[in-house]
Amino acid sequence: MANSFTSTSQYDEQIPVLIVGGSLVGLSTALFLSWHGIKCLLVERHRGLSPFIRAGGLSPRTMELYRQSELEATIREAASPTDAQVLQVESLVGKELAAMNISDFVTPASPMASCAITQNMLEPILQARARQLGADLRFNTRLISFQPETDKVTALIEDQASGKRSTISARYLIAADGGNSPIRESLGITTQGPGVLSHQANILFSADLSGPLRGRKVLFCHVTNADIQGILGNDPFNARSVLVVSYHPESGEREEEFAGERGIRLIRAAVGVPDLALDILETRSWEMAAFVAERFGEGRVFLVGDSAHVMPPMGGFGANTGIADAHNLAWKLAFVLKGLAGPQLLDTYAAERRPVVQLTVGQALANFAERFSERQTGDTAAPRLDYYTVVLGYLYHSAAVLEGTASSEQYEDPQQPTGRPGSRAPHVMLERAGKPISTLDLFKRNFVLLCAEAGDAWSDAGKLVAKQLGIALDIYRIGEKGELIEGEQRFQQAYGISSTGAVLIRPDGFIGWRQRGTAEHPKQVLFSALSQLLSRE
């Protein structure tokens, strides 16, 4: 793809960021960039959003990210009720083997609970919010070719309805074009991991399931009986459901078979009603796979989501991991494009995200092996971690983290935070003007300097350094007498500082720098720290 384009000095449009792919991660990328005030153009070859019921759970960390973009309330309003369940059953009308409530997914480490919302319900919300913030989203538009250059990426796109082609000049290109990413392949980026694990077919159907549901609010059912092993997904807001089953194309099985009698038979077996009236609306096949791209980009082109990594859905990590990619990359692109950070800051995207992705893929593979009684081998073997450690406790190591001492640790228990640089800033409940507020609600678009109650020297230095560097720096003093009040010194304990210490929080809510106590020259120390975090040294 990259080599098929002939560069020209004339452009129909010039844009800071071109995003290719308009599914969940591409839309999230457009949302986060627009939230930071960066103009972006997103192109998606399909005419509209997918109707399939997929990716039914957002982790607490993902909800923190959407909360930062002022979207949490809208998402929760559209989500499944908090008493919705995930079941293991012989069939929908048969014996329940296990049940788990969505409301169980809460942790003291976050002010956010998990959220049960399917991808087909979430994507329209992201689409509307991104457009509201100024993103240009063009569906039924495909990328014909692209050519990376020293100072830009030149791309050729086509409106498939009219056939009109346009030449785009973008400062950066983001590939959110799926697991079979043509952009990744054009760049010659290989993947590492076991690859395809199985072939799956999604059967979208409509049927009256009110009787079999028996009043239960069911999001997903893992169904196992003599006739079927699969996942039955239910959309509580529409008379639509989806059945996900394995199939074997290597043995001559075809996707088309699921649109007829075979699909009807499997759906009836999953529901447990032999004569269930139903209509099959659509079928779609996909590969359950596990891999990680050897590189997360090249030059001015970056990979996010499935273009960078694919993992089995066991554990619900895939979509959440891709959204975290988008959030990590968006703030860094914004700071570079605004001239607030050096371009080397963008190198920290892969340095931070790829090790986290490898850890997460390992957990998903361990879950896959456990469910299907398969033994992990080689580098796919992984120690089992608590769910909240996987989604909240991962650690970053890069030039955008000033750790003080070298560390190779990949995670920590988020319920016992250390406040170390490279960790997600801990959630601590505070009080402002008589109302409760989480520390996480202080993190918006800017770097944030949190000072302990006797950290006036850091607060004063922060004002001077921000002016000197020409950046916006949000400064808060926390303590019994501060603007933000907290008791029992939980803030100091969680962040690992004394009453005279301070921490710098990056726009993505990760700790970039920490000083446990006072310093002889706080202004020079803070200036050096921020300059390094912004790749300006």
The dihedral region occupied by 223, where left means phi > 0, alpha psi between -120 and 50, and beta the remainder, is beta
Pairing of strands 511-515, 502-505: antiparallel
Q: Which residues contact 214 (CB under 8 A, 6 or more apart)?
A: 93
> Exposed, middle or buried by CB within 10 Å (0-12, 13-18, 19+), for 265?
middle
Bridge partners of 101? 85
User: What residues does 191 pair with on adjacent strands?
Assistant: 293
For the chain, how long is the longest CA-to-CA vector? 80
Backbone angles phi, psi at 520, to 5 degrees: -65, -40
Mean pLDDT of 372-394: 74
The C-alpha angle 174, 177, 179, rounded to 5 degrees, equals: 125
Residue with token string 């230095």 = 461
Question: H or E stretch including 46?
Answer: none
pTM (2 decimals)? 0.93
Question: How far apart are the C-alpha atoms of 376 and 379, rounded to whole Å?
Answer: 8
Regarding beta strands 435-438 and 301-303, do their DSSP bridges make them parallel or antiparallel, or are they unpaired? Answer: unpaired
Residue-level pLDDT at 487: 65
Residue 214 pLDDT greater than 80, yes or no: yes
Question: Is the pLDDT score of 323 beyond 50?
Answer: yes
Q: Is 201 in contact with 284 (CB distance < 8 Å)?
A: yes
**How far is residue 410 from each of residues 66, 352, 356, 440, 514, measured CA to CA in Å?**
24, 10, 7, 22, 19
The whole-number pLDDT of residue 378 equals 43
User: By CB neighbour count within 10 A (0-12 exposed, 13-18 middle, 19+ buried), where does 393 fall?
Assistant: buried
CB 108 within 8 A of CB 388: no
Map out the domains of the chain with their CATH numbers.
2-79+115-190+294-370 (3.50.50.60), 193-289 (3.30.9.10), 425-533 (3.40.30.120)
Joined together, the tokens standing for residue 259 give 């649109």
Look up tokens 């999604």; give the residue. Answer: 202
Read off the pLDDT band of 172 (50, 70, 90). Answer: very high
Distance CA 364, CA 342 (A): 35
Quote the mean pLDDT of the chain. Answer: 92
Residues 6+ apart with CB under 8 A from 492: 452, 498, 499, 501
Q: What is the pLDDT of residue 382?
A: 65
Q: Does residue 373 surpass a pLDDT of 80?
A: no
Residues contacting residue 406 through CB under 8 Å, at least 6 positions apart: none
C-alpha separations of 533 from 343, 400, 442 in Å: 12, 5, 19
- Distance of alpha carbon 537 from alpha carbon 529, whole angstroms: 10
Residue 138 tokens read as: 């063009």
Kindly report the length of the chain.
Answer: 537
Task: Report which of residues 383 and 130 the model is more confident about.
Answer: 130
User: How many Å apart are CA 393 and CA 487, to the nearest integer?
Assistant: 25
Q: Which amino acid is at 402?
A: L
Six-digit token string for 402:
């000033």
E strand intervals along 439-518 = 447-452, 473-478, 502-505, 511-515
Q: How far apart are CA 119 and CA 53, in angstroms?
A: 6
Supply the pLDDT for residue 50: 81
- Kindly report, residue by residue over 299-320, the tens digit of the pLDDT: 999 999 999 999 998 888 999 9
Give 428-459 pLDDT, tens digit per residue: 999 998 899 999 999 999 999 999 999 999 99
- Say how far residue 384 (Cα) sits from the centre of its chain: 21
Mean pLDDT highest for which of 3-12, 320-329, 475-484?
Answer: 320-329
Residue 80 has pLDDT above 70, yes or no: yes
Terminus-to-terminus CA distance in the chain, angstroms?
Answer: 37
| 3-class SS of residue 454 | coil
